Amino acid sequence: MSDIEGVHAKRPDQIRQLAPLAVGDQKLQRHLGYFSGTMINIGQIIGTGIFSNPALILQCTGSGGMMLILWAIGALFATSGLAMFLELGTMVY
């Protein structure tokens, strides 16, 4: 008798109580709300920007410090755009 069979023989009740991963018509419920959709969108935008742009910016600026300064300025522009759209959105209601 192998070690695995010995383990199964010692604890048959615990193994019988384990449910299979998928039984019959069990499926994961698909639900995508406003928050989930927004987070997916933001993750795609940030992920793409982080992995595709730094090499090009570093090549054009030639300096790591200047690249960080440009990223900070870009963040300020993005924040001001966000504030503007938040203000316009609150005026609609």
User: What 3 state SS string does 29-61 have?
Assistant: CCCCCHHHHHHHHHHHHHHHHHHHCHHHHHHHH
Residue range 19-43: mean pLDDT, rounded: 76
The pLDDT of residue 47 is: 82
pLDDT digits (tens, 9 = 90+) for 40-92: 998 888 888 778 778 888 888 888 899 889 889 999 999 999 999 999 989 88
Q: How far is CA 59 from the centre of its chain?
A: 28
Single pTM value for the model:
0.46
Q: How far is CA 61 from the centre of its chain?
A: 30
Reference 53, options 85, 37, 75; nearest CA is 75
Residue 15 near residue 6 (C-beta atoms within 8 A): no
